[in-house]
């Protein structure tokens, strides 16, 4: 009789454990995932850095930066949009360089000789966008160019890409 009662108690505990595990899986985990998604969206909205080891170069004082003009008007054929017509963008690009960066002196001496490479990278990125995308969200285009140039130089001494004047036709 004692063995039978002990088996019944163990069976009840196993069933209770299974029920509590199912509740955890189907109720608690999805709500935690939803909370995590909301926290991630809020962090992106207020532009928080999720990695602590990266330094934020976007809020540098202007006196520590220098503008490097590429001295060239770029006429770039854009990707065809919904209207199916050919569109062109005329931009006058410039780079904002951080003078206090450790790589500044290393790369500024060679920037003059690498203007063609820089302009080619700018053209390659801008060609991916339609006229509508370039008009509605030019910041996304500039950010992609910035990332591309930072990857090219393997340094983040270039802080920002500037389009002095942009004409889209």
Query: Which whole number is the average pLDDT over 155-160?
Result: 86
pTM here? Answer: 0.62
Phi, psi of 136 (to 5 degrees): -80, -30
E strand segments, 70-117: 74-77, 88-98
| Phi then psi dihedrals of residue 125, to 5 deg | -75, -45
Phi then psi for 153, rounded to 5 degrees? Answer: -85, -10
Query: Residue 108 has what pLDDT?
Result: 81
Average pLDDT of the chain is 84
The contacts of residue 164 (CB under 8 Å, 6+ apart) are 69, 91, 92, 93, 94
**What is the C-alpha to C-alpha distance for residues 108 and 51, in angstroms, rounded to an integer?**
28
pLDDT digits (tens, 9 = 90+) for 79-138: 887 888 888 889 999 998 888 888 888 888 888 888 889 889 999 999 988 888 888 888
Q: What is the pLDDT of residue 47?
A: 64
**Rounded mean pLDDT of 21-46?**
83
DSSP state, residue 136: H
DSSP letter string, 45-95: HTT--S-SSS---TT--GGGEEEEE----EEEEPBP-TT----EEEEEEEE
Strand partners, 95: 68, 161
Q: Can you give the pLDDT at residue 156?
A: 84
Residue 55 pLDDT more than 70? no
For the ranges 28-37, 59-68, 84-93, which has the lowest average pLDDT? 59-68
Structure confidence at residue 113 (pLDDT): 86
């Amino acid at each position: 009789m004692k063995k039978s009662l002990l088996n019944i108690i163990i069976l009840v505990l196993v069933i209770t454990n299974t029920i509590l595990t199912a509740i955890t899986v189907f109720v608690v985990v999805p709500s935690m995932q939803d909370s995590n998604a909301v926290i991630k969206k809020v962090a992106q909205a207020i532009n928080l850095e999720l990695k602590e080891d990266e330094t934020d170069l976007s809020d540098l004082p202007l006196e520590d930066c220098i503008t490097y003009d590429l001295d060239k008007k770029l006429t770039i054929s854009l990707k065809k949009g919904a209207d199916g017509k050919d569109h062109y963008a005329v931009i006058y690009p410039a780079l904002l360089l951080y003078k206090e960066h450790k790589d500044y002196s290393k790369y500024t001496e060679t920037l003059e000789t690498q203007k063609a490479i820089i302009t080619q990278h700018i053209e390659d990125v801008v060609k991916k966008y339609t006229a509508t995308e370039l008009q509605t969200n030019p910041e996304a285009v500039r950010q992609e160019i910035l990332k591309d140039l930072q990857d090219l130089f393997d340094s983040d001494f270039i802080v920002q890409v500037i389009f002095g004047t942009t004409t889209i036709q």
